Amino acid sequence: MTSKKENATPAWVKNMRALMDQHGFNPRSLSLRAGLNATAVRDMIEGRSRFPRYDTVLALADALQTTPAMLMSGDDTAADGHNNGDAFGRDVELLTEIITRLQETAAEMGRDLTPREFAAMSATIYRRLHEAGDMPSRKTRIAAISPQIHDLLEYEGLRGKKHKAK
């Protein structure tokens, strides 16, 4: 019989546990390998830290040799990634990076995007970067994503002012 606490365990914690076993990590060794405090992973596993920040997820994913999107995914997304290979993982990772950066930048600029605006901007940036070809490093992706987000947010801001003036 399964306990309520086990049923309440988020998919990402299950994913992390499986990857820890696969790579021979215990909670402390993974925490240290990811550059986190020694009890960070234990706190996540025990439910004291339910929603880690993106930079924490990125550090864990790097240590576990996976992507943040695959680590944090539900069972269906992880299975799709496994079945569809590296290209799927790279696409999910790129979309995750775009969405994260767009959310952060919009908040920094004080922009409240509608779901439609958010989706359109994310899709536009993804399409532009995907058409540009492979970008091997995370640093390169961030460098390519940030200016496009700023351009789109500024354009939409100007366009919104123009519509209000009419």
Residue 5 CA: distances (Å) to CA of 1, 45, 47, 107? 12, 11, 9, 35
Q: Please determine, for residue 86, whether its predicted confidence score (pLDDT) is greater than 50.
A: yes
**Whole-angstrom Cα distance, residue 149 to residue 128?**
11
Q: Indicate the SS3 state at residue 48.
A: coil
pTM check: above 0.85: no
Its sign, for the CA torsion 60, 65, 71, 75, is: negative
Q: 61-77, pLDDT tens digit by residue? A: 889 988 787 788 765 55
In terms of Cβ atoms closer than 10 Å to its own Cβ (0-12, 13-18, 19+), residue 57 is: buried
Place of tokens 């496994």: 82
**Distance of alpha carbon 59 from alpha carbon 77, whole angstroms:** 20
Structure confidence by residue, pLDDT tens digits, 21-36:
999 999 999 999 999 9
* Structural domains of the chain, ranges and CATH numbers in brackets: 4-75 (1.10.260.40), 85-165 (no CATH)
CA gap 166, 33 in Å, rounded: 57
Angle between the N-to-C axes of helices 75-84 and 86-108, in degrees from 0 to 180, rounded to the nearest 10: 130
Tell me the average pLDDT across 28-53: 91
Residue 163 is predicted with a pLDDT of 56
Q: pLDDT digit string (tens) for 104-162?
A: 888 888 888 888 989 999 998 888 887 776 655 666 776 788 888 888 888 877 776 65
